[in-house]
């Protein structure tokens, strides 16, 4: 199209936005690093993930033929869709601003796409069949250990498991660990929570906080998750992509950021939903 601006005609603006957006998206998203990542390539907009069930070995008597074990994996299909955000940057705004407007837009776009990815992944916690809590009690370290026992029952490696909570839910976990922030006999984990506000590792699992967990509709109620890396997945077809198009009559550039991905639950038994209520509103 004649009115399109290209990377050569707007090289400075284009380069600044792309670099900033990709950096922020990588830094701000926590969930993407905690789940299985797949790439969609070679045509199509979906990826099919084979899921193999466990098989068991049994004792066999000498000179006795082994029984045949059928291997019939199920599969989960993750379909990608587009997410995006757009703004129009006028020439006057870009040229008169005392700071790098292009970089600012890149930061805003990157954060928006990262939050969307996190929100889509944390929304999958509600799909776990195993649920601890009904939204009437606060979370505690005992509940975290209870959730871990469910995962360990499935022979999962604790080193590949994680806890993700809303900050208001995590508050009660920290308060409990530190005896409402005033524990005279605090252990190392409680001391770290007091010093930095970061719980660290509990029950061998890292504890993360993200505000990208939607409220259930009841004040103070949020659904967190304790899960293995293979419980959930994100399939990327296109990472952060920035495009610009010139609108000459408006004396402006349309700036569009998009990403194409899908999320899905792979192993239902590899995750536990924590439905908790916060003591603070």
C-alpha distances in angstroms, 174 versus 18, 59, 167, 281? 38, 48, 10, 16
pLDDT of residue 187: 58
What is the pLDDT averaged over residues 141-168? Answer: 94
pTM (2 d.p.): 0.83
Average pLDDT, the chain: 84
Higher per-residue confidence, 113 vs 196: 113
Class for the domain spanning 127-231+268-277: alpha beta
Instruction: Report the distance separating Cα 200 and Cα 196, nearest Å.
Output: 10
11-52+71-122+233-263: which CATH number, 3.30.2400.10, 1.10.357.10, 3.40.50.150, 3.40.190.10? Answer: 3.30.2400.10
pLDDT-above-70 percentage for the chain: 84
pLDDT of residue 178: 67
Band (pLDDT 50/70/90 cuts) for residue 13 is low
Burial 141-161 (b: 16+ CB within 10 A, else e): eebbebbbebbeeeebeeeeb
Structure token pair of residue 171: 């508050």
Instruction: Report the distance separating Cα 238 and Cα 246, nearest Å.
Output: 23
Helix ranges (H only) for 63-200 are 91-96, 101-122, 141-153, 167-177, 188-196
What is the pLDDT averaged over residues 264-281? Answer: 94
Tell me the per-residue pLDDT of 233-270, one tens digit each, with 9 for 90 and over: 999 999 888 888 889 999 998 888 999 999 999 999 99
What is the pLDDT averaged over residues 179-198? Answer: 50
pLDDT of residue 143: 95
What is the pLDDT averaged over residues 175-203? Answer: 59
Question: Domain locations in the chain?
Answer: 11-52+71-122+233-263, 127-231+268-277
pLDDT of residue 133 exceeding 90: yes
23 burial via Cβ count (<10 Å: 0-12, 13-18, 19+): middle
Structure token pair of residue 132: 């601890």
Band (pLDDT 50/70/90 cuts) for residue 196 is very low
Tell me the β-bridge partners of 242.
Answer: 257
Tell me the per-residue pLDDT of 203-226, one tens digit each, with 9 for 90 and over: 889 998 889 999 999 999 999 999
pLDDT of residue 275: 97
pLDDT-above-90 percentage for the chain: 48
Band (pLDDT 50/70/90 cuts) for residue 180 is very low
pLDDT of residue 1: 44
What is the pLDDT averaged over residues 32-38? Answer: 93
Q: Do domains 11-52+71-122+233-263 and 127-231+268-277 have the same CATH topology?
A: no
pLDDT of residue 94: 82
Beta strands 221-228 and 161-165: pairing type?
antiparallel
How is the beta sheet containing 205-209 ordered, strand by strand?
Answer: 131-132, 271-277, 221-228, 161-165, 205-209, 201-202
Tell me the per-residue pLDDT of 92-132, one tens digit each, with 9 for 90 and over: 888 887 777 877 887 888 888 989 999 999 999 999 999 99
């Amino acid at each position: 199209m004649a009115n399109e601006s290209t990377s050569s005609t707007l090289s400075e603006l284009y380069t600044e936005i792309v670099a900033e957006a990709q950096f922020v998206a990588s830094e701000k998203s926590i969930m993407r690093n905690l789940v299985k990542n797949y790439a969609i390539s070679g045509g199509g907009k979906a990826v099919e993930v084979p899921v193999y069930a466990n098989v068991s070995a049994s004792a066999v008597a000498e000179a006795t033929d082994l029984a045949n074990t059928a291997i019939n994996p199920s599969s989960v299909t993750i379909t990608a869709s587009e997410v995006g955000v757009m703004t129009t940057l006028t020439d006057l705004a870009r040229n008169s601003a005392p700071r790098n407007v292009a970089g600012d837009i890149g930061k805003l776009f990157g954060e928006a796409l990262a939050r969307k990815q996190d929100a889509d992944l944390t929304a999958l916690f509600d799909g776990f069949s195993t649920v601890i809590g009904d939204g009437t009690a606060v979370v505690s370290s005992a509940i975290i250990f209870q959730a871990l026992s469910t995962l360990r029952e499935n022979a999962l490696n604790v080193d590949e498991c994680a806890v993700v909570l809303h900050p208001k839910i995590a508050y009660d976990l920290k308060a409990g660990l530190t005896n409402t922030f005033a524990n005279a006999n605090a252990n190392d984990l409680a001391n770290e929570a007091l010093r930095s506000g970061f719980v660290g590792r509990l029950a061998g699992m890292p504890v993360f906080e993200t505000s990208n967990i939607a409220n259930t509709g009841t004040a103070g109620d949020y659904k967190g998750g304790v899960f293995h890396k293979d419980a959930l997945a994100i399939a990327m077809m296109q990472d952060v992509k920035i495009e610009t198009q010139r609108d000459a009559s408006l004396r402006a550039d349309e700036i569009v950021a998009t990403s194409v991905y899908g999320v899905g639950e792979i192993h239902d038994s590899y995750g536990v939903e924590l439905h908790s209520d916060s003591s603070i509103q």
